[in-house]
Structure 1
Amino acid sequence: MPESRHTKELPASLLTDPEMIDACRERDFARVFRLLKAHAGIYPSMIARRCELTPSRVGEVVAGRRQLLHMDVIERIADGLRIPGHMLGLARREWEAPLARAAVEREPSESVHPPGRLKPLAALPGVEVDSVLALAAGTRPSPSTLQALQSSIEDYWRRDDEHGGETLRPAVVGQLRYVEGLLNSGRPAPMQNGLYGIAAELARLTGWTYFDARQYQQARAYFSEALRLAREIDDHPFMANVLACMSLQATYQDRPADALALVSAAQDQARAASGATPRVRAMLAMREAFAHAALGDRKATHEAISEAHRRFERIREGDPDPAWVAYFDEPKLIVDTGIAYGRLGEAALAEPLIAAALERGDPANQRGRAFHAVWLARTQLQRGKLDQACHTATEALAPAAAVSSERVIWHLREFHEQLAPSREVPAAVAFAARLRAVLPLRGQRTPSSMRT
C-alpha cells in the first residue's frame, strides 16, 4: 500500500480516546471509521483508497451491513490508517516509530498539563506491554524459549478451565504479539516451526476465550488466524483442532449445517496427517456427533458416537498425542457421549453417562463442572424429574459463579426458561431465586431460538 508510507500519524487525542480504544479492541470497524471521519477528517473514500478496499465495501461496514474479519484486511487497515498494531491485537507494524522516539513523543512535558488535572493517557497498558514485548523480541530465541512458551500455554489452559478466559485474554494476546515478533524466515526450520506452532495455539486460545464469552465474530477472526499460522508449517492435526472449535461454535450459533461442514473439513485435515492419533480422531468423531445431533439426524449421530468410542479404544500408552488433545480423556468421552444423546432428546441414555462423568471429572475444572451439571439437569427435566433437575442446576451455580463464562451463564438461563411451565412449583421458585442471587441478569435476554 504505497500511499500509507506517506500517511500522517493519527492525532494522539484520537488514539488515546477511550471510545477509539474500545472500538479497535473489539474490531468494530463501523465505529472506527465513524471516529476517523469525525475526529481526523478521514472520509470513507479516503479509507477505501488507503486500505485497498472498495468504496462500497467501506460504506457497507459503516452502515453495519458487513463485518471485516480476515487478518490480511485488518492488517491493511492498521497500515493504511496508521493505527498502531497493539490496538487491533496485531504485532508491531513496520512503520511504527522506534521505541525510544515513540516514548519521547508519548511523554509531553509536565508543564503542558495544568495542576490538578490528569494527563492524557500517554502510556496505556497495551502500549506499555507492547513496547516491552517488542524490546524482548529483539532477543534470540532458544529451545528453552520454546519450552517456556509451551509451559505458559499449558498454564493458560488450566487457568481457563478454573477461572474462564476473560481475564487471561490480554496476556494471551500480548504473548501472541511477542511470538509473532520473533518469527523470522532466517531462523533454523525447527525453531521457526516451533514458533509458528506456539503462535497458532495462542491465536486459537484467544479465539476460544471469545467463543466462551459468546463474542462469535472476534472468535472466528482469531480461529482464522490460527489456521493461517498452522498452515505455514503444514500442521494438519492442529488445523483439524481449530476447525473442530469452529464447528462447535457453529452449533451455538444455530448453524448445524456449517458445524457439519467444518468438522468434515477437520477430519479431512486429520486424514492428511500422519500425526493424527486415535485420541485426536476420537475427539473429531465426537464433534461430528454434536453436529449431526444439532441437525436432528439420529442415525448419523449414533454412528459418529460409535466411531468416537472405536477410535478411543485404540489409544495406547506412549501415543504421540499433541498436548492440546490431552483433555479428551475417558470422563470427557463419556460426558460428551451423554451430551450428544441429550442434544437428540434421548434423556434416558444421556442422564447416567453425564452423572457418571460428573462424579469423575476434575473438581478444579469449574467451567466443566458447571456446564456438565446444567446438562445433567436438562436431561433430568426431560425425564420429568423436576425437583431433582432443579437441585442439580442449583449445584451448578457455585462453579458457574467462580468462572467467567458467558456460555455457562447462557445455559443456566436457558434451563430457567425451560422451567416456565412449572414456574410455580416450589423447586423451580427456589432455583429461580438462587439464580437471581448468584448470577444476576446483565441486561440481556437469551434468544430462545438458539440451540446448544
Structure 2
Amino acid sequence: MPGPQSYTGLPPELVASSEFQRVCRERDFGQVFQLAKKWAGVYPSRIAALCGMTPSRVGEIMSGRRSLAHIDVIERVADGLRIPGAMLGLAHRPWEIPAIPREFKRTPGQPSASIDEVAAVAEDGGEASGIDDLLTLADGKVTRSTLVALRSSVEDYWRRDDEHGGASLRPAVVGHLRYVSQLMNGADEALRRDLQSLAAELARLAGWAYFDARQYSTARTHFTQALRLSRLQDDYLFMANVLSCMSLQATYDGNSTDAVALACRAQDSARAVGDQPLVMSMLHMREAFAQATLSDSMACHQALDRSRDAYEQARGREDVAPPWVRYFDESKLIVDTGIALARLGESARAEPLIAEGLRRESAAQQRGRAFHAFWLATAQLQQGSLDAACQSASLALDFTASLDSPRVAGHVREFHGRLAPYAREAPVISFEQKMREVLG
C-alpha cells in the first residue's frame, strides 16, 4: 500500500457532493470516513496513517462508538484527507495556499498587474488547490463556450447564495477564481478582457461569501481584489458595485464612518458613468444604513429621500440597469427603508414597511426573508410588543433552517440577547425552544 506522502486527496466529485459537504459541516466524521471508503477506497488503516490515528480508533468513529471533538485532531483529519478547512469550519490549512505563478506571458499593452493580482487573492487568504480538479471546464483551451459555462456557474452561485447562504460556497467560488486566473495565461486579448471581468465578478462573489460567513478580513481581501480588477478595465460601474458591498460590510463590522465614506465613493464612481438611477437608488440606501448606525437622523432621512427619488426615475427602465443591481426592486426599497428607520429607533414607522416588504418577497430569497423577519421582530420589540416580536422571530427561524449563513446566526444571537429582560415570559421560552430545535 502506498505511504501517506503519495496521497493526493479525495475525488473531486466526492468533495463537491452535497452529502459530503453536509457531513463535513456537521463534523460527522463517522460518515466522512464512510464516504471516503465508499467513494475513494480509503480504508480505515489508510485513514489512520494519513490522520495520525490508530486503525481501531478510526473503526470506532466509523461505527459511531466514538466521536471527534478536539480541534487538533480535526485539523489532522483535514490535513490528512485534504478536506478544505472551510468545509469543517476551520481556518485555511497551509496546504490550501497556492503558489503564485512567477511568470506568465503578456500581450503588448496588457497591464502587468492583472494575473498577479488575481493570484494574490490566495496569498492574502483565499481558498486553495485541491479545488482545481473540480473546475476543469476546458482542456487548457479558452473558448467562448468556456466563458458561457463559467458565467452560468456564477449565476448558479448567486441563486444558491440567495436560497441557502454563501458560507458553504467559498471553496468552489475561490477555486473558480483561481482557475480563471490560470486561463488568462493562454487567452487572446479579447478573451483576456472578458476573463478579467469574470475574475472581478468571482472576486466580488468570494468577498460576499466570506462576508456572509462573518470572516470580514478575508472578505475585504477579495473585495479589494475585485476593485483592482475592475479598475484595470476602467469599469467604474462595477467599482461602485464592489464599493457598495464594502460599505455594507463596514456597517456590519461597526466601522460606520468608513461605511459612509465607501457608499459616497461608490456614488461618485457611478456618476462618472452617467445616468444610472437604479444603481444610485441602491447606493443611497447603503449610505442611509451607514448614517443610521451613526445615529445621524437628518443625514439618514436625506439619503432615504434620494434613494426613493432615484428609484422613481428608474421605473420602467430596470431592464437597462446592470444585472447585478436588478435585485433592488420596489419590495427591497420598502423593506430596506424600514430597516434604516429601525436602526434609527423609529420603530413605529419601520414596522409596517418591513412587514410589507417581507410580504412581497419571493419565497426563494430565504436568507433575505430571515433577515427581514428578524428586523420586523426587532421593530416590534422596540415598541414593547413581546408576543408579536417572538412570533416574527420564530418565522425567521423557519427561514433559517435551510441556511448556512453565520450572518443570520449572528442576528439570532443578537435578537436573543435583547430578550434577556423577558427570560421568564412564555413567548420567550417558546422562542428559545424553537431556536434550540433549529440551530441545535
TM-score normalized with structure 1 length: 0.70
CA deviation after TM superposition for structure 1 residue 254, in Å: 0.9
- 2:140 maps to 1:141: no
Aligned match of 2:254: 254
RMSD over aligned CA atoms reads 3.2
Describe the SS at the equivalent of 2:320.
coil
SS at match of 2:429: helix
- Seen in structure 2, the aligned counterparts of structure 1 residues 88 and 417 have a Cα distance that, compared at 3 Å, is closer
Q: Distance in 2 between matches of 1:290 and 1:310?
A: 17
In structure 1, the residue matched to 2:278 is 279
CA shift in 2, pair 1:380/1:24, >3 Å: closer
Does structure 2 conserve the Cα–Cα contact (< 8 Å) formed by 1:361 and 1:369? yes
Query: Which residue identity does 1:156 align to in structure 2?
Result: Y
8 Å CA contact 1:23–1:32 kept in 2: the answer is no
CA distance in 1, matches of 2:172, 2:249: 23
Map 1:171-190; keep pairs closer than 5 Å.
Answer: 171-184=172-185, 187-189=188-190
Contact 1:141 1:182 in 2 (8 A): no
CA shift, 1:318, in A, is: 6.0
Q: Distance in 2 between matches of 1:428 and 1:434?
A: 10
Return structure 1 stretches of 4+ with deviation > 3 angstroms. 11-29, 71-78, 87-90, 131-135
Change (3 A) 1:424 1:365: same
Q: What are the within-5 Å matches in structure 2 for residues 318-357 of structure 1? A: 319-357=319-357
Counterpart of 2:206 in structure 1 is 206
Aligned to 1:294: 293
In 1: Cα distance, 2:120 partner to 2:410 partner: 33
Which segments of 5 or more consecutive residues in structure 1 lack a partner in the other structure? 1-10, 37-50, 52-70, 79-84, 91-125, 441-452
Q: Does 1:304 align with 2:303?
A: yes
1:367–1:311 CA distance, 2 compared to 1 (3 A):
same
With over 3 angstroms needed to count, the CA separation of the structure-2 counterparts of 1:271 and 1:185, relative to structure 1, is farther
In the alignment, the residues of structure 2 paired with residue 428 and residue 28 of structure 1 have an alpha-carbon distance, to the nearest angstrom, of: 35
Q: Distance in 1 between matches of 2:327 and 2:229?
A: 23
CA contact (8 A) 2:243 2:263 kept: yes
Residue-by-residue CA offset, 1:260-308 (whole Å, 9 max, x unaligned): 111122112112223x621111000000000100111000000000000
TM-score, length-normalised on structure 2?
A: 0.72
C-alpha separation in 1, matches of 2:332 and 2:437:
30
1:191-230 equivalences under 5 Å are 191-230=191-230
For structure 1, which segment, 336-345 or 179-188, has the greater mean C-alpha deviation from structure 2 after superposition?
A: 179-188
**Secondary structure of 1:424's match?**
coil
1:137 and 1:181 in contact (8 A); partners too:
no
Distance in 2, Cα, partners of 1:329 & 1:74 = 35
The alpha carbon displacement at 1:131 in A equals 4.6
1:154 aligns with 2:155: yes
Structure 2 residue identity aligned to 1:166: A
Give % identity: 51
CA distance, structure 2, for counterparts of residue 334 and residue 354 of structure 1: 7
1:389 corresponds in structure 2 to 389
Contact 2:118 / 2:225 at 8 angstroms: preserved in 1? no
Residue 134 of structure 1, CA deviation: 6.1
CA pair 160-14 structure 1, distance change in 2 beyond 3 A: closer
Residue aligned with 1:168, SS: helix
Shift of 1:24: 8.2
Q: Is the 8 A contact 1:176 1:199 kept in 2?
A: yes
CA distance in 1, matches of 2:298, 2:354: 21
Q: CA deviation at 1:186?
A: 6.1
User: Residues 286 and 304 of structure 1 are in contact (CA less than 8 Å); yes or no, is this contact kept in structure 2?
Assistant: yes
* AA in 2 matched with 1:207: G
- Give ranges in structure 2 of 5+ residues lacking alignment: 10-49, 51-75, 103-115
CA distance in 2, matches of 1:318, 1:306: 19
Question: Hey, what does 1:430 align to over in structure 2?
Answer: 430
| Structure 1 position 165 matched with structure 2 position 166 | yes
Question: Distance between the aligned counterparts of 2:172 and 2:119, measured in 1?
Answer: 21
| AA at the equivalent of 1:412 | V
Contact 1:24 1:88 in 2 (8 A): no
